[in-house]
């Protein structure tokens, strides 16, 4: 009976650590997650979601950029974004991966490396506000 209690305790401890690790991992870089959500909204042409993920100053430009994906089948491939720097209190986020865009059965790769997204906090939310 003692061995059974020990096994149950170990199992519960391991499950607790797994839950804790999953919570920490998903919230570890909120600025990076904001950019990933922004890119997903862009390739899926979700104007409403893109607007809510953009700062007020950038919203009009973001909506104009979504026009580039009208009539194109686009998806994200191996995209991962994380905060790489700060600039006057704003987060700068770099991404790995690419946008795959298909038009007339021709696929193009748009690499995300080399572009830094400027992300700001407004009303407690991280929002994309341009790029460098």
pLDDT in tens, the chain (132 residues): 444 333 333 322 323 322 233 333 345 799 999 999 999 999 999 999 999 999 999 999 999 999 888 889 999 999 999 999 988 889 999 999 999 999 888 999 999 999 999 999 998 999 999 998
Residue holding tokens 């430009």? 61
Q: How far is residue 118's CA from residue 67's CA, in Å, rounded to a whole number?
A: 21
In 3D, which of 24, 36, 25, 52 has the Cα closest to residue 94? 36
The residue ranges of every structural domain in the chain are: 29-131
Q: CB within 8 A of 103, min separation 6: which ones?
A: 71, 72, 73
Residue located via tokens 């830094």? 116
CATH of 29-131, one of 3.90.870.40, 3.40.50.720, 3.30.720.110, 3.10.450.50: 3.10.450.50
Tracing tokens 């700068």 back to the chain, one arrives at: 92
């Amino acid at each position: 009976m003692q061995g059974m209690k020990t096994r149950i305790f170990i199992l519960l401890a391991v499950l607790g650590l797994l839950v804790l690790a999953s919570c920490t991992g998903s919230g570890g870089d909120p600025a990076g997650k904001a950019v990933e959500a922004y890119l997903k909204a862009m390739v899926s042409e979700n104007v409403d979601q893109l607007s809510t993920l953009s700062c007020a100053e950038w919203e009009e430009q973001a909506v104009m950029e979504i026009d580039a994906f009208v009539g194109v089948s686009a998806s994200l491939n191996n995209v991962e974004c994380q905060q790489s720097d700060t600039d006057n209190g704003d987060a700068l986020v770099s991404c790995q991966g690419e946008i795959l865009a298909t038009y007339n059965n021709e696929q193009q790769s748009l690499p995300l490396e080399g572009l830094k997204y400027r992300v700001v906090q407004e009303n407690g939310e991280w929002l994309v506000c341009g790029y460098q």
